[in-house]
Amino acid sequence: MTAHLRNLQGNAACALGAIAAGCRFYAGYPITPSSEIAEWMAAELPRVGGIFVQMEDEIASMAAVIGASLGGMKAMTATSGPGFSLKQENLGYAVMAEVPCVIVDVMRGGPSTGMPTRPSQADVMQARWGTHGDHPSLVLAPHSVAEIYSETIRAFGLAERLRTPVVLLYDETLGHLIETIATEPPPPEALLERKWAEGPRREYRPYAAGEDLVPAMARPGDGHRAHTTGLTHDETGFPTQDPERVARLLDRLLGKLEHHRALIEKVDRVETEDAELLIVAIGIAARAAKAAVGALRRQGVKAGLFRPVTLWPFPEEGFRSAVATAKTVLVPEMNAGQLVLEIERLAPAGVTVHRLGRYDGEPIAPEEIVAAARELVR
């Protein structure tokens, strides 16, 4: 298969990545700056035998995606901050009922309607804690158009393989950034797929999981009996408030992502081997940080970049090894300080953590990071 070079905006790359991953169901609702994903899906999905449904609102879009996934299809929706807020209850349902699906949040300035056409990274914590209750979150944060394409494919793989909703998080700048990328669909055997229920129907228990902690899903029409609910349940799927069963379910749900950290975690490091100043950034801020690392190195500052491509669960080990030689950590992010909280939690004693925040609707420029870094190493 030959690579096909195209000029695409991030949102288009997301749509094409989803199709390459085997997504054939999209339910969505117009919201700036994510609407192009819906528009591309509306045009492209029918060509590959897929279905695009424009729903009546944000909540319905998320619910329809969950329904389609339970119905046996790879399904996705996309939105931005206000819509992401509306989807949260359904997102929690997908976590609890273990329904694979992909939700794209193209971040814009908030809170509330905020700045629909301006970038922000202020949904870092909403993506982690937006829905209520103790729950695991799986969030990927690409930083280029090419990576939006590849991470969308990876998002589907993780969602299907681990039976969990996966959030793809990037900002307006990346959504509308146009770059030349190779859209090369991965071979089918390279895709991670859902584990379907097999074996005697009589013995099937919908939420019984083996060592990998992921229960096999009943394929509709196969005859396996499954009870699906957002109520706390045991292996049978039926609701229970028995403390032992409740704890067992939550232990497994929370442990599921921990168990698969090796599969889930993905980090990017730039010159971290001897870095005394470590910059930690995601998305478009990481693009600026990459340029800043080059500039700082030329100025004799031993700078490096650690970029969690998998944002949640946070790649703790990757960060610990990247921060090993550092004396100072700088976290540039387009919000009032969200990612920095996790870095403060994980930074070893003696390492000082600083943030460079901006929430005025403008991306952070490399020069700002260089200037802040030079202040810190002076």
With binding defined as CB under 8 A, does residue 240 bind another protein? no
Stretch that binds another protein, among 6-14, 25-33, 62-70, 273-281 (CB under 8 A): 25-33
Residue 11 beta carbon to another protein: minimum distance, rounded to whole angstroms? 12
Binding another protein (rule: CB under 8 A), the pick from 6, 32, 245, 291 is 32
Outline where 226-282 has alpha helix (H). 243-259, 261-264
Long-range contacts of 159-162 (CB under 8 A, 24+ apart): 159/100, 159/101, 159/102, 160/74, 160/100, 160/191, 160/192, 160/193, 160/194, 161/192, 161/193, 161/194, 161/195, 161/214, 161/260, 161/263, 162/100, 162/138, 162/214, 162/256, 162/257, 162/260, 162/263, 162/264
Residue 83 beta carbon to another protein: minimum distance, rounded to whole angstroms? 9
With binding defined as CB under 8 A, does residue 57 bind another protein? yes
Q: Select 120 or 328, whichever has its Cβ closest to another protein.
A: 120
DSSP string, 143-210: -SHHHHHHHHHHHHHHHHHHTSEEEEEEEHHHHH-EEEEE--PPPGGGS----B--S-GGG--TT---
# residues near another protein by CB under 8 A: 19
- Residue entry with tokens 């045009």: 43
Residue 44 beta carbon to another protein: minimum distance, rounded to whole angstroms? 10
Binding another protein (rule: CB under 8 A), the pick from 29, 84, 170, 314 is 29
With binding defined as CB under 8 A, does residue 58 bind another protein? yes
With binding defined as CB under 8 A, does residue 312 bind another protein? no
Binding another protein (rule: CB under 8 A), the pick from 8, 15, 27, 38 is 38
Binding another protein (rule: CB under 8 A), the pick from 10, 81, 82, 304 is 82
Contacts with another protein by CB under 8 A lie at 29-32, 35, 38-39, 42-43, 46, 52, 54, 56-58, 82, 86, 112-113
